[in-house]
Structure 1
Amino acid sequence: MLKKFTFVALMGALVTASFGAGVANAATERNGSCESGEFCLYYNSDQAGSVSDFAGSVADYGDSQPSCYEFKSAGNGQGVCVKNNAASVWNKTNKAVTVFYNSNYGGAKQTFAAGAKGNLKAELKNENASHRIGDAGGDPDPAPGTYPAPEANPHPEATAKAPNATKRTQFIDDQIASKTGEKQCWVGDYRSYESATSNHNTGNALDCTISNAIGTYPTESQKAQGWKLAYWLQKYASKLDVRYVIWQGKIWSVARASEGWRTYTAGTGVTNGHYDHVHVSVQNPHGD
């Protein structure tokens, strides 16, 4: 069924996501206290200074407020963005955790066994950009978990007019819903401020709401949820006929796949920077 991004639908997404988030985050997520089941980064060496506690993997800590992950507790570094500012860690999860020099789990790395605590090595001290829970130092699929493979998209390139989706786009929407469980994806209303041949206006793009509502930043677990979807779309781009994906101020495209996830420069802020929703554009006659 073709869908339209309406106020009613958005409110439904808000109610559903809000109650869901309440259950998932009912414990002590991101409260500045390093507790059992969390991976914690410290501003100073030897687990001193302000702490930033995480319940899941993070592909990019963010560069500046208000979108970055910051050190939470009282002490040296409180309020400072975690990226490139951590000196030590405490892994209170039951899995190995690897800290990476680059965003999206790349570059130099250091692995901490379950229950271990220690200082970041010189190459990573104040040079940390991401961490992955359940990573013992190898190079597994970068997504925090995985979804089943989708079916191949059988539909040719085409155009429609928003809020209608092309058959190719609707197929991706259906595959997202059936394989990942994400059901808040929309073409959106026609955008008079965009070109008539834009991806959204021609029914060749979807926005999948990940945060509690459009206009609000996601929780840590929602960020991981969004990255799981984004990496799935990247992994199966050829099978689904995906053109590019945007999430958390990062863009990955088929045309520049060798460059990995790049900084997205066409928009900033919670919505235009794609911090509250995953955007996926579909291969189409008009391109970008």
Structure 2
Amino acid sequence: MFKRITLVAMMGALISVSFGAATANAATARNGVCESGEFCLYYNSDNAGSVSDFNSSVSDYGDEQPSCYDFKGAGNGKGLCVKNEAASVWNRTSGSVTVYFNSGYAGPRQTIGKDVKVNLNSDLKNENASHRLADAGSPPPSGGSYGTPNTNPHPSATARAPQATKRTQFVDDEIRRLTGETHCWVGDYRSYESSTSNHNTGNALDCTISNAIGQYPSAAQKEQGWKLARWLQKHAAKLDVRYVIWQGKIWSVARASEGWRNYTAGSGVTGGHYDHVHVSIQNPHGD
């Protein structure tokens, strides 16, 4: 009887060891280590800094703690939300993985083949919101962009705020017609700005995206703002757009090759343009 119990106990111990060994060899999601079978985002370029590891698709990384997906490995960026913060990736899954600019697998994208380490391109570096495994870069869902606007027929001109120039009014009308955004304004004359500023000369619009000026947008409103900003960027030539500012980022025709750059001329909710999309129109006075 004693021997039988001992044998059973020994068999149980062997089974336990066997299972334990199998578990140790398997990828462990969200442990800050890039293991076989996982897709990993890195805070820095060249696969440096803290890592965030995944074994499934994620349609929205989330914007803030404690609900966002964060960087878990040691190094720069540890603890930060990965959304709009990743600079490089390592695809250790068995198929292609596509990283998307927008949540919901939409917007500009970059597809990474299996077993590939790579820096994210200029569209996606620090501008990433979702990724999908076993995705070869299929087109984004319908509704990912607005329709094509008409070509702006009006010459460069100036007015006095709150009046818009005909060129600016055309952009406002096309925004309303094609995107449904109805809260775009030149705004009152700003005595604290130069008389030749884009707003004061009727050559700029502020499109309120959040519930009110001074309030941060919801996640859905942020995506809505990016959809508008990207549309203005895409059709800058047809609309005579000069530059666009949104979410602390600026894109301009003059420096288009640099993509979306950090905007440092203002801070806070409104100064950083987190509550509204700003669009300046080509005009005689420039920036």
TM-score by length of 2: 0.62
Aligned equivalents of 1:176, 1:84: Cα separation in 2 = 31
Residue in 1 aligned with 2:233?
A: 234
Q: SS of 1:251's equivalent? A: strand
1:122 deviation in Å? 5.7
Equivalent positions of 1:120-159 (< 5 A) are: 123=118, 129-132=127-130, 136-138=135-137, 145-159=144-158
- Deviation string, structure 1 residues 252-274 (Cα, Å, up to 9, x no partner): 11111111111112112211111
Residue from 9, 24, 32 that aligns with 1:44: 32
Residue in 2 aligned with 1:193?
A: 192
Equivalent positions of 1:30-69 (< 5 A) are: 42=30, 44-45=32-33, 69=64
Residue in 2 aligned with 1:204?
A: 203
Equivalent positions of 1:177-188 (< 5 A) are: 177-188=176-187
Q: SS of 1:239's equivalent? A: helix
Higher RCO (CA < 8 A, seq sep 6+)? 1
Listed as ranges, the gaps of 5+ residues in structure 1 are 1-40, 62-67, 90-95, 113-119
Q: SS of 1:278's equivalent? A: strand
Aligned equivalents of 1:172, 1:86: Cα separation in 2 = 37
1:124 deviation in Å? 7.1
Say whether residues 1:72 and 2:61 are aligned partners: no
Say whether residues 1:163 and 2:190 are aligned partners: no
| 2:160–2:201 Cα contact (<8 Å) kept | yes
Call closer, same or farther: CA 1:213–1:160 in 2, change over 3 Å.
Answer: same
1:86 deviation in Å? 11
- Deviation string, structure 1 residues 48-103 (Cα, Å, up to 9, x no partner): x999x9755x8xx8xxxxxx6445279996963322499999xxxxxx972379xx
Q: SS of 1:150's equivalent? A: coil
2:175 alignment partner AA: I
Report the identity percentage: 57
Aligned equivalents of 1:283, 1:276: Cα separation in 2 = 23
| 2:59–2:132 Cα contact (<8 Å) kept | no
Listed as ranges, the gaps of 5+ residues in structure 2 are 1-28, 39-51, 73-77, 102-106
Residue in 2 aligned with 1:271?
A: 270
1:109 deviation in Å? 5.0
TM-score by length of 1: 0.62
Call closer, same or farther: CA 1:147–1:287 in 2, change over 3 Å.
Answer: same
- Deviation string, structure 1 residues 17-52 (Cα, Å, up to 9, x no partner): xxxxxxxxxxxxxxxxxxxxxxxx9573589x999x
Residue in 1 aligned with 2:247?
A: 248
Call closer, same or farther: CA 1:42–1:197 in 2, change over 3 Å.
Answer: farther
Residue in 2 aligned with 1:99?
A: 99
- Deviation string, structure 1 residues 188-246 (Cα, Å, up to 9, x no partner): 11111100000000000000011111111111111111111111111111111111111
Aligned equivalents of 1:254, 1:134: Cα separation in 2 = 31
1:169 deviation in Å? 0.5
1:98 alignment partner AA: T
Aligned equivalents of 1:74, 1:281: Cα separation in 2 = 35
| 1:86–1:128 Cα contact (<8 Å) kept | no
Call closer, same or farther: CA 1:73–1:277 in 2, change over 3 Å.
Answer: closer
1:44 alignment partner AA: G
| 1:210–1:277 Cα contact (<8 Å) kept | yes
Aligned equivalents of 1:205, 1:55: Cα separation in 2 = 34
Aligned equivalents of 1:145, 1:228: Cα separation in 2 = 7
RMSD: 4.2
Q: SS of 2:271's equivalent? A: coil
Identify which range, 225-234 or 69-78, moves more after superposition: 69-78
